[in-house]
Amino acid sequence: MTTTHDPVLLHRILNGEEAVWCDNVLTPGVEGCEETTRVALEAALKDLEERLGQDMSRWRWGDLHATTFPHNPFSQVGLLKRFFDRSMVTGGDPFTVNPSPYKLAQPFGAYWVPSYRHIVDLADLNNSRFMHTTGQSGHFLSKHYDDLLPLWRDVQYVPMYWDKAQVSANSEGTLRLEPK
């Protein structure tokens, strides 16, 4: 018997090798895989039609699948949540290169994503790139609170400068912290 983590389980079920997975034990009869998959497909199509309309050519995974970036602690405050949280349509699933898995209890909301990506060019550190999900500031009034979200969604990167001259040439300003 295989487990649900076996990557070929569905293939084996559909070929009748794992028929035990297909029976609905809550019904008196014994259902085969063909019947169970037909019922599941019909239920899924009905659900998607209710959510996305009858025209399948217009169905997009991203119309249902979104990642929410909550703000802690203000996501816990109903009236403030809408000002602080950010949400972004995302592709992916648990098995894609850019994973964006969902929970079976909430099949369309992504519950984790790669939040930081970094490409280091060891031959030329100034050619290194990075990406962070939301932005470089945790302050929601900053223009950098969520400015990286579209780039993150599109799997783009921004330069990561290493030498002082390039850092100075590309900086917005200097923040100096001095003790009192």
Q: Are 87 and 66 in contact (CB under 8 A)?
A: yes
pLDDT (tens, 9 = 90+) of the chain, 180 residues, equals 444 456 687 787 777 777 788 888 898 988 888 888 899 999 999 999 999 999 999 999 888 998 989 988 999 998 999 899 999 888 888 888 888 888 888 888 888 888 899 999 999 999 999 999 998 888 888 999 999 999 998 999 999 999 999 999 999 988 899 999
The pLDDT value given to residue 30: 86
pLDDT given for residue 7 in this prediction = 66
> Beta strands of the chain (E only): which ranges?
66-69, 86-89, 102-103, 106-110, 116-119, 129-132, 158-159
Instruction: Kindly state the DSSP code that residue 154 receives in the 8-state scheme.
Output: T
Residue 92, both tokens: 């992916």
pLDDT at 21: 81
What pLDDT is attached to residue 106?
Answer: 85
- Looking at residue 164, its pLDDT comes to 92
Give me the residues paired with residue 110 across strands: 67, 102
Question: What pLDDT is stored for residue 5 in this prediction?
Answer: 55
